[in-house]
Each structure stands twice: as C-alpha cells, then as structure tokens.
Amino acid sequence: MSSFLIRGARVIDGSNREPFRGDIAVDNGMITEVSPSIKGRGKTVIEADGLVAAPGFIDIHSHTDLTIFKHPLAESKALQGVTTEVVGNCGIGAFPVNDDRRAALTDYLKMHEFHLPSDGLSWNHLTQYADQLDRIGLGLNLAPLVAHGALRIAVLGAEDRIPSDQELEKMKALLADSLEQGAWGLSTGLIYPPGSFAKTEELVDLAKILARYEALYTSHIRGEGATLIEALDEAIAIGKKSGVRVEVSHLKAMGKDNWGRGKEALSKLEKARQSGVDIAADQYPYEATSTSLTALVPSWAHAGGISELLKRLASPETTERLQTEILREMNHRGGPSRIVIAEIGSAKNFELSGKNVSQIAELWNCAPEIAVMRLLLEEKAVVGAVYFSLSDEDVDAILSSDQVSVGSDGMGMKTEEDLGKSTHPRSYGTFARILGFYTRERGILSVAKAIYKMTGLTAGRMDLRNRGFIEPGFTADLVLFDPLTIQDRSTFDHPHQYATGVVHTWVNGCPTVQEGRITGNTPGRVLRKRGVSSYS
Ligand SMILES: [Zn+2]
C-alpha cells in the first residue's frame, strides 16, 4: 500500500467548512496527518499547487450493480472523482436470489436495462455477489443496498397482492439475513412493479428491521409529479412509524403542472425533520429523467411479470385501456415529443435510439401511445427512455439545499465499449457538472458546500464511518481536481464523453486516476456494514 504526501493543496475536507491550504499524508491506505505543512521525508510527494484536495466522492444513488462486471473500473465515474458507489437503488438490485424465481428477477433487471454478466445471476445472496466482485477486482468501492423488488420477487414473484403473514415473515428474515451480511439498507422503487404492489404497511414492517440495524431506507417514492407531496408523506410516515433513517431518492417535481413544487417538497422534508424524522434526499443535476419506457405503463398491467405485460399489450381486451393510460402518463411527463428513446436491444429498431416518441409515431404513421406499445412489444419491454420533464428552477432550488446529497442515478460506463448507445449523460457528468456548471459558472453553491453534498453529508446518511472526510484516521479515498477546469462534457446528443479536470484519485490509498488517466489499479472493495445487532 502506497505512502505519499499531497503538498500545497487547497484542502476541502468534506465538512462544509472553509477551505485551507495544507498538506495531507497517507500511509497504509489511511490519512495520517493533515496540516499546513508536513515534512515528508522518504515519501512520494504530489505537488498540488492550484488543485483542490477533497474526500473521494460518494455516489449515493448508483445503478452500477451489474455493469460493474463489464466495467470493473467504472471509468465514467472514476474520472469524475467518484471512489464509492451505493448500489441496489430504486428497488432494483442483484440479491437476494431465490433459485425458483431467478428467471423473474432476471426479467426484472433486464427491463431496467441492467446488463447481466455472461453467466447470469450466479449467486443467491450478498456475500456470494460480493465475493465474485472482489475476485474480479474493482476500481472503486461499492456499498450495496438490498433491493425491495428483488426481495419481493424472491418471496412473491411478480404477483400483484399483499404478502400473507408467513410471506411477510420470510421477507423480513431475508432482509435481516442481507443486513447481517453487511448490506447498508433497503431501497424501494414504488412506481416500479413489483415494488408498486406493496402497501405502506409492508414497508413499515420491513423498515422496522432496518431501524434495528441502524440501516438506511432509501426510496424512489410512489409519485414524483402530481402525487409528489402524498408520496413524500408516505416516506415520512414510514420513518415515523419505524424509526428508520429515510433517504428520498432523486428528489424532483416532474411534469409542467408541478414545476415550482421543488421548494414545497424541501419544506415538507424540513418540517418532518423538525418533528423528529431523520429524512433527507439526493438529486442528479439535470432537467431530464431517465428510466425504462415501461414506466409509462400502469402498474396493473405488470402483474405477473414481463410475459403477462406483453400479453396485455397485445390483447384486444386491454389495449384500449392501456392506450388511454399510457397517453395520460406520457402527457404527465411532458408529452411524446419530450420523451426520447435511449437504449434499445434489437438491431431492427436500433435507428430509433435518439428519436422522440412523436417522431417514431410519425415514422410509423400511428398515434404516439400506439407507437409506445408497439415498441415495447417488439423489444419485449426492454427499452430505455429519457424524459425531459423537469424545470431548471426546481433543479436549482433542490440543489441549493444542504440536506440533499449528490447521486448520479447512473452507472459506470466506458466510452470505447458503450459508444453508439444512447444514454443519459448523468453517468458521465454528474459530479463534474456540480463543480463546473453549478458551482464555478453559476455560483449556486460554494465549492465547500458542493463537496460536502458529495462526501461528508453522504457518508453521514449512509453511516459510512471512516470515509467522506479528510481527517487523520480516515480511509484515504481522495480526489485532486482543478477547480478552474473541472467540467462535464457528456450531453444528451453525445453522452459518451468523460468529464475533465480530475487529476488524481485514490481509492483505499491506491491511485486509480493519475494525471487524468485511469491507472487500471483495482483497490476497490465491496464495503459491508459492521457492528449490527441481531434479528430475533
Ligand atoms: Zn429511481
């Protein structure tokens, strides 16, 4: 393990306090000293004049769970200064796996554009998943959450019903088992089946287990548009009834009718905090969202899984109702011309990637809702989409809050291998965009606050006890960047472009980026939460 000294950096330590000029000494993977001047005899010295030294960025909302098998260095994230990614978000994740339901979980992950390793889901629980990743060797750390969707599929399959008492006990036991293995919490995706089939009571029961383990409850809440406030109420109620720490995922106000409600959402969270609920949120800094095109399809049509969904999309008995409801949801998200098709599986429809739904409807000479249904049928429901449905005022308002962490909602990518696929730029740009566009250019945040929202705040939410700050005794996850040049370059039209301005990063004390280039080192680990209580 390297021993080195960073000299003369502008140190921003992750606590939101004023930057200071100083040196940082690292030994054996740990930060050993931070002070205005350190004598570093016998050590490698990195001259950091003009550069900012910050704790490595923690991406609290990532979907790198399976792409990490293909891109173990997570290049698009590493070049933004990310050293830890929290995976298993939005109720979508790789464990637990019940052998009898492996196919259903595989379908679910594919629908959400997760790229499975060549041998599929070859594990059952967190320890086996983590062992496989540790064997490959990772360029950054992963902190996994249990995904409620996977948990529900393991016990109930894709059925649209409440669990029996016995089934609920099974879910609780599986959750506790994952927490015992070191999971950091539970995520829900309450707009995505099967998560959307869960009632609040089920979530409160599961959250009570989390509270016992001091683990986090993160939620893609039940509505982010017209029902945003009710959905926040549900998240707050879950926190209140269970005592769990709550993180609202990618906070936003979606759809033109709801623009301006970002502030209302923030004050709602503030009030909840004052009443004793430990609740905060995260956000990605873009005006477009991205998820599966199936997010336009109402929940009832998903009951039973993908094969049933495809039957309903094709059946004359259900098509009319589906058309009406898909059109409604499409308009709610900004209308067909603001929904752009991103990833598409088949060669047949590949040229549709990058086109919006209105253009596809014109091409096919049909109504937009019919185009959506045809595309889903032809692609067996595996279609990604980008929805231009947010306002910049809301993005700015939410970004200004020091209770909102930065999370990409993206995944680790590599330009050479992903080129040609349409995708949301957040996977390449989130952290650099906050520091370049929002901090340097627009002055919405101070650099210290921006860094705090990517490090110290996030470590606190996650309960990552020795990361997120530059302090003696903390793990040496560090980034050195140029505050004058850091910038995102990924755009909606040309997403596969790495951010610039990150000069060095270290993960667990080992360099993963040097002089702006990926080193190829693999010091990353799957982090496990320790010191948990037992479930009885
Ligand atoms: Zn989500």
For strand 185-189 and strand 216-220, is the pairing parallel, antiparallel, or unpaired? parallel
Determine the 3-state secondary structure of 491 from DSSP: coil
| CA 224 to ligand 1 centroid distance, Å | 10
Q: Which of 152, 149, 133 is nearest to 141 (CA)?
A: 133
What's the 3-state SS for 407-465? CCCECCCCHHHHCCCCCCCHHHHHHHHHHHHHHHHCCCCCHHHHHHCCCHHHHHHHCCC
| CA 523 to ligand 1 centroid distance, Å | 28
| CA 63 to ligand 1 centroid distance, Å | 9
| CA 90 to ligand 1 centroid distance, Å | 4
Q: What DSSP string runs through 302-358? A: GTT-HHHHHHHHH-HHHHHHHHHHHHHHHHHTT-GGGEEEEEE--STTGGGTT-BHH
| CA 61 to ligand 1 centroid distance, Å | 8
| CA 387 to ligand 1 centroid distance, Å | 13
Listed residues: CB within 5 A of ion ligand 1:
90, 220
Angle formed at CA 400 by CA 426 and CA 253, multiple of 5 degrees: 65
The partner residues of 283 in beta bridges, in order of sequence, read 406
Q: Calculate the dihedral angle through the C-alpha atoms of 91, 93, 98, 102, rounding to the nearest 10 degrees.
A: 110
| CA 189 to ligand 1 centroid distance, Å | 6
pTM for this predicted structure? 0.94
Measured from the Cβ of residue 45, the count of other Cβ atoms closer than 10 Å reads 14
Q: Where are the beta strands (DSSP E) in 134-192?
A: 141-144, 146-147, 185-189
| CA 228 to ligand 1 centroid distance, Å | 14
pLDDT in tens, the chain (536 residues): 458 999 999 999 999 999 999 999 999 999 999 999 998 676 799 999 999 999 999 999 999 999 999 999 999 999 999 999 999 999 999 999 999 999 999 999 999 989 899 999 999 999 999 999 999 999 999 999 999 999 999 999 999 999 999 999 999 999 999 999 999 999 999 999 999 999 999 999 999 999 999 999 999 999 999 999 999 999 999 999 999 999 999 999 999 899 999 999 999 999 999 999 999 999 999 999 998 999 999 999 999 999 999 999 999 999 999 999 999 999 988 899 999 998 887 889 989 988 999 999 999 999 999 999 999 999 999 999 999 999 999 999 999 999 999 999 999 999 988 777 778 999 999 999 999 999 999 999 999 999 999 999 999 999 999 999 999 999 999 999 999 999 999 999 899 999 999 999 999 999 999 999 999 999 999 999 986 544 43
163: its two tokens? 């669990």
Distance from C-alpha of 295 to C-alpha of 290, rounded to nearest angstrom = 10
pLDDT at 2: 57
Q: At what angle do helices 200-212 and 228-242 cross, to 10 degrees?
A: 40
| CA 274 to ligand 1 centroid distance, Å | 26
| CA 381 to ligand 1 centroid distance, Å | 18
| CA 384 to ligand 1 centroid distance, Å | 13
| CA 165 to ligand 1 centroid distance, Å | 28
The secondary element (H helix, E strand) that includes residue 167 is helix 165-180
| CA 446 to ligand 1 centroid distance, Å | 27
| CA 62 to ligand 1 centroid distance, Å | 9
How far lies 272's CA from each of 27, 46, 216, in Å? Answer: 42, 45, 17
| CA 193 to ligand 1 centroid distance, Å | 12
| CA 264 to ligand 1 centroid distance, Å | 20
Distance from C-alpha of 413 to C-alpha of 107, rounded to nearest angstrom = 22
| CA 390 to ligand 1 centroid distance, Å | 15
| CA 102 to ligand 1 centroid distance, Å | 22
CA atoms within 13 A on the CB side of 61: 30
| CA 503 to ligand 1 centroid distance, Å | 31
| CA 435 to ligand 1 centroid distance, Å | 23
